[in-house]
Amino acid sequence: MNIIYKKAKVWYLEIRNPQKQEVSKVDLKIEKQFPVALKYYKEVYKKVGEPWDWSNRLVMDEKKLRILLDDSKNEIYYAYFEGKLAGYFELDTHHDDMELVYFGLTPPFIGKGLGKAMMQQILEIVNRREATRLWLHTCEIDSPQALKFYQKSGFKIYDEKIENQTIIEY
């Protein structure tokens, strides 16, 4: 395993006062994880993120990662469709606004409408908490559909930067 850094365009997006969207007809089951099983978390992170070179959680010091996962304000959710792991998302709820830290589907479930169903459930969580803002960032290394998907979900770009991205080469 070799760690490299690659410069990439990063978009920062937000949705202010998120409104509840139409309810999806897709039967996607969302389960909040607490406590979070570290080994399974890393497996899920890798399954979802490997096609897009996600690596931050995989190269993070395990003690620091364990502290992060044990923090009740860092919420981990797994999504299941027909009993199979379909994806996951991570919300940072430390502030009045919330950050969607990670969001993704495993490759077999991409393009089946599950992303929209998962986003609807995220917006429902944000609404229940009465957060006034949900924000995230994505980059050009991520899924080619990511930016458009977020914009179709109601997010607006509020900043754009070139930043180093950590990538694992196997």
Domain CATH code at residue 115: 3.40.630.30
Residue 74, both tokens: 């860092």
Interatomic CA distance for residues 113 and 111, integer angstroms: 6
- pLDDT tier at 21, thresholds 50, 70, 90: low
In this prediction, residues 62-88 reach a mean pLDDT of 97
pLDDT digits (tens, 9 = 90+) for 77-117: 999 999 999 999 999 999 889 999 999 999 999 999 999 99
Q: Which domain holds residue 142?
A: 2-169
Domain count, the chain: 1
Q: What is the pTM of this model?
A: 0.93
Q: What are phi and psi of 147, to 5 degrees?
A: -60, -50
